Amino acid sequence: MKILSLDPRVTRENIDVETRDGELQPLEHFETYEVFEQRKRGTHHVHVGNVHAPSHELAMVFAKEQYTRRGQCVNLWVVRTSDVFVTEYMDSDIFETTASKKYREPDSYKVIDRINAFKAREAAKNA
Amino acid sequence: MEFTEKHVEGLKDLLYRMADDLLILGHRNSEWTGLGPILEEDIAFSSMAQDKVGQSLALYEILHELGESDPDTVAFTRNDFQFHNCQMVEFPIGEYDFSLVRHFFYDHADALRFEALTETVFEPLQMVTKKFKGEIKYHTMHANSWLKQLAHGSEESKIRMQQSINELFPYALGMFEPSDYEQELMESGLFIGEAALQQRWLDVVVPTLESYGYTVPTDAAPLFGGRKGVHTEHLQPLLDEMTEVFRIDPSAEW
């Protein structure tokens, strides 16, 4: 049997993905959902992967089993992949910065020197 | 109150029912591993099958403390007529609709049985039911999500699910076959009894299925037998397969 797609239903239903007209219908091909896991209350949700599912509810059920089994998790988000808006890599120059803007970055404040100086003073005091 | 010999016999019978259901259904559901409808579901269903075998071990360990043989001997050396599982769990996996409906019926009963036993006077069992609370809650979430999804999937999915509901419902009622110790279990505070559990189960399962648009054949007569060792022709072949490796060398250390 020729494998037509990584989605087993495409092969089982013998759907011609190359030449057929129109989009795959929802029952022929599940959508993907992005999964975000929270390790501890109050911390950020972190993207951990995605799942195929026919609904948000089953995406949640699958995400729990795929991504939270071995780690600690207190909360999950699932978001339909098609609802995520992304930048284009060709626009990645918008993230570039110039040396003259350095003063706007938190790391241009020389606070680490003052922290080290404070630590040295404390160490000297306790010595 | 003091436990008499009959109380202990009743307790053991209850534990065997629970443990044998979990072992047999866990084994059955594991037959889907590698064959599930999609990868995500394959992983979820296999993982729940493992949970069931793990839960059965915890209950066999309690039985061992009550004087029964060790878990491996109990699980792997009995013949079909010595098993207390209900008949529903021993049927072959069939098509996925059949396995999902069985999972829905069984796991709701399991969840309610464990919940009722959080108040048993027998402390070791109380501890076990608390330990598996989260696992079992996930199992019922999984079952509900699929039953709901397939009620609204396609005309075919709804018809298939409804057929499996009709076919399995009399066997599902067989889960609550009364034991010979109902009175002893209830008067001692060990267990609420099968009749009360069945009512709790109906109160959950019937409205849930109806809310998804299915009909429930509530006038069906229960099919009993399994709890008293009367099984279908499907159980012994399952046991033969399950114990195949064990029987090569029963004294092997794993």
| Domain definitions of chain B by residue range | 5-248
| Domains observed in chain A | 8-126 (3.10.20.520)
H helix or E strand, kind and range, residue A80: strand A75-80
- Does residue A93 have a pLDDT over 80? yes
Cβ within 8 Å of B, A 86-125: none
A11, A34, A62, A64: best to mutate for the B interface, most B CBs within 10 A: A62
Is B59 or A105 the better-scoring residue by pLDDT?
A: B59
**pLDDT tens string B103-140:** 999 999 999 999 999 999 999 999 999 999 999 999 99
What pLDDT does A102 receive? 72
Q: How far is CA B60 from the centre of its chain?
A: 14
Residue B19 is encoded by which pair of tokens? 């443990």
Asked if A58 reaches chain B (Cβ–Cβ under 8 Å), the answer is yes
Q: What is the CA radius of gyration of chain B?
A: 18
pTM of this structure: 0.86
What pLDDT does A10 receive? 66
Q: How many CB atoms lie within 10 A of CB B32?
A: 17
Is A8 or B55 the better-scoring residue by pLDDT?
A: B55
**pLDDT tens string B162-217:** 999 999 999 999 999 999 999 999 999 999 999 999 999 999 999 999 999 999 99
Sign of CA dihedral B110, B111, B116, B117: positive
Taking alpha carbons only, the member of A13, A19, A54, A15 closest to residue A33 is A54
Residue A113 is encoded by which pair of tokens? 């020197």
What pLDDT does A24 receive? 62
Residue A65 with chain B: CB contacts under 8 Å: 40, 43-44, 47
Chain B residues bordering chain A (beta-carbon distance below 8 Å):
37-41, 43-44, 47, 138, 141-142, 145-146, 148-149, 153-154
First vs last C-alpha separation in chain A: 77
Between CA A3 and CA A10, with CA A4 as vertex, the angle to 5 degrees is: 110
Residue A30 with chain B: CB contacts under 8 Å: 38
**Rounded CA separation A5/A12 (Å):** 10
Residue B65 exposed, middle or buried by CB count within 10 Å (0-12, 13-18, 19+): exposed
**pLDDT tens string B149-170:** 999 988 999 999 999 999 999 9
Integer angstrom CA distances of residue A119 from A107, A116, A123: 19, 5, 6
The beta-strand segments (E) located in A8-57 are 31-38, 46-53
Architecture of domain B5-248: Up-down Bundle (1.20)
Q: How far is CA B27 from the centre of its chain?
A: 11
**Rounded CA separation B36/B38 (Å):** 6
Residue pair A28/A13 in contact by the 8 Å Cβ criterion: yes
Encode burial over A82-111: b for 16+ CB neighbours within 10 A, e otherwise. Answer: eeeeeeeeeeeeeeeeeeeeeeeeeeeeee
